[in-house]
Structure formats: C-alpha cells, structure tokens
Structure 1
Amino acid sequence: MKNLVLATIFAFLVIGCSSTNSVLSLPAYEAKGINVTPGANIIINSITDKRKNTSVIATISDSKGTVDEYVTLGGDLTKWFGESLQKELLKSGASLGGGDDAKVVDIAITELKANLSGYTKDNMKGNCEIYIKIYRDGMTITKRISQPQTQFAPIHTAGAFDPFVKEILDDMVRRTAKAILIN
C-alpha cells in the first residue's frame, strides 16, 4: 500500500512539474498591397527555414526562466510564408513567372521566437528575422529584415500568441514583399 501511495504522489509531482506543449495554427494571410510601381516580374526560387529549432516558436516561462510551456506551429512555416508572400506580391501588381527581366529571390527564415514571462509591462516579447537574396542582371542584393515586438499579455496561455505571432509574420510578409519590389 505504501508503494502505491508513493507511486501516486510521484506521478502527480512529475505531471504537475513537467512542461506542456500547445499548438498554434496560422490563419490565411490577407494581402493588403504595397504602394510601389507595379509590373515587377519575380521568381521565388526558394524559401528555407534555418531556425535552430524549427518546431518551437514560443515559450511560456516562470520568473526564473524555467519553461512551463512550449508552443509549436501547427503547419509548415515556409509554405505559409511562401503562399502569403505570393498573395502580397500579386496584390501589389507583380507577376510571378519567368522572363529575361525577372528578379530571382531566395529567402531564409533565420529566427521566429517569442516568450511570455511575468506580469510586468511588455511581458511578451518576440522577434522574427529573414534574409533575402535578390538576383538580377548579374547582381546580388542581400537584405536583412528583422521585426522585434513586445506586448502585455495578462493571461499566460498559448492563446496569447495567436494574434501576436500572426502580427509579426504579417509585418514580415509585407516588409519582404516591399524589399523585393523596390530592389
């Protein structure tokens, strides 16, 4: 009987002290269009996810920095980003296809992370970083786009990341499209 009680107590401690995982799903992107000269011909050659940990996009931690919950993305980030970027470029008047005057673009997502910790001002912080290589007329232009963001979240749940991460990614799609169109 003692062994059963000890095993039960141990199981509750392990379950109560372990971190949990939540999944975040990104809704479809709504293109707004960018005010630049339309008519650019663009080929998106590749979009790669070069983050160190491609599964976790956010964490909820205690005041000591110990992670209580991991938030993963329920879908392929490169696919979502590619589809969203295509929508934004088309809405802005670009054409996506071949041709002699086409800009060829390679995109590397190097960072997308967020953390929620504590109850002070701006307790949720996130950052996204993307490198863009644009090839045209024998030249290569490299652009780095970074989007740090902070916000206050009163409730510590994975749901707090729904609008937060979406806002960061929406901004990155628009800024990436603009960088491609003006260079």
Structure 2
Amino acid sequence: MRTFEFTHEYWTETAGNLTSRRGVIDAPEVTNNASGEYKIIVDPSQRKQDWLGVGAAVTDSAASLIRRSQNAEQRHRLLTELFSPDQAGFDFIRLPLGSCGFSSQKYYTYDDLPFGEQDYKLEKFSVGTGEPGSSQATKDLKNIVPVVQEILTINPAVKVIASPWSAPAWMKNTGHLTFGGI
C-alpha cells in the first residue's frame, strides 16, 4: 500500500452494483501516459484558483434516504465517513431553499399560498412546522434539518451554500412550482 501524499487523500470506488460501496482503496500509482490517457495533476504550489472545498447536496430526497434507510448508528457512520476531517473531509453542503427536482414530499417553497393570494411582505415565510425529524414535521424540518444538525455535530466547520429551485407559485405567472413561468 502506497502512503498518501496529502493529509486528506481518500480513495473510494463504487462498482455500479454497490458491492464495493464506500470501500477504501489504495491510492493509484502515478504512471506515464503510455495508454493515451491524460492525468490531472493538482500541484498545490501552483495557485490559479482558490479551492474552497468539496461537499454534497443535502436535498429532501437525499436526507430522507439517509434518515429512513439506515438506523441511527449506520447513519452516523455514513455522515462521519463523509464529513469528518479525519475521513473523506467534505466541508461544504448545498441546501435547496425549498424543495428541488427530487423530493420525498410535495414540492414546496418557504412561502406557499393558495392560488390567487400574495405575500409581498413574506409574513407567511416558513421553513416548516413541527419538531425537526418528527413524522409530523413539514418541509425542511422533516428531513433536511435533522441531517444537517447531525453533520454539524461531526464537523462544525462545514460551510453551507443555499440555492433556490423555484420562486413561490404566487410569484409566477403560471401559479405552479413546476411548468416554468415568469
């Protein structure tokens, strides 16, 4: 086994059928370009662009799968493997502002209203209702918030990028979260 060149060098593979899922493998040997393949060299001494980090999206569907397909111990092991600085070291998470393309719940935004109503002052703005992680919780409080809370216990230095998927339906000329609109 070759020694790692960088502090956080971590190699893993997935075989498509998941038989080697998250199995740590030896770092590949550096070889000449004998087969016509191109290698990518990251030289930390050559600074062209700032490296902010690496991470994962925590969408409602991803958080739902993490929470519901594993018990608490398995979930914690997975999140530790991904976000612990001593393991894979992910240090970013991308959160959707409201639901996105794949969701375990009906599509939502943080200011949903019945068709024809408006809320220009955002007085009905809400990331959800209920206790985070409870079966009665809604929107982000159902799945996303509990997973993010656990990630932050593993790595409190994780940075968050939040991005919207859709404006609330009342802001669109279609009145729908899907089907486009302006």
**Aligning the two structures, in what range does the TM-score lie when normalised by the shorter sequence?**
under 0.3
Relative contact order, CA 8 A, sep 6+: which one is greater?
1
Q: Given the two structures, how large is their TM-score scaled by the length of structure 2?
A: 0.22
Bigger share in strand: 1
